[in-house]
Amino acid sequence: MYKAIVVPVDLAHAELGKKMLGMACEIGGKQCRISALFVMPDIPGYVAVELPSGLQQKQLLHARADLKALADEFGADSEVLTGHAPIKILEYAEKTNADLIIIASHRPGLQDYFLGSTAARVVRHAQCAVLVDR
């Protein structure tokens, strides 16, 4: 039914990522292209100048390796981007012509009582179907 599924993964919660990727495999089947996506937040320039040289690049390399290892378990593609997570998720879904985004929602704050803030923004602005798992 679905041809392309995007699964945003928070590497700090890799177990949730595994659950979401497993769900994508079940829903999408063999013919579906599944993409695991991690969005690393931008570090403001005034903070970046105080960090050791090359630290951001090392973090990016580690994130790519960790996400690839996770995605390979499920036969999925992997992509690491930097920026504001909801925006990058939506842009990536549009760029890859995704017809479903499977996203986890955890620890909502008062302002987003029913969904986490990233999931809430993705749900509100996605041009494709969104499945939210809690």
The fourth-level CATH superfamily of domain 4-133 is: HUPs (3.40.50.620)
Q: How many CA atoms lie within 13 A of 62 on its CB side?
A: 9
pTM over 0.85: yes
Lowest mean pLDDT among 12-21, 22-31, 62-71, 99-108: 99-108
Which H, E and C letters describe 62-74, residue by residue? Answer: HHHHHHHHHHHCC
CB 39 within 8 A of CB 83: yes
- What are the residue boundaries of the structural domains of the chain, listed by start? 4-133
Mean of pLDDT values over 29-38:
95
> How much is the mean pLDDT over the chain?
89
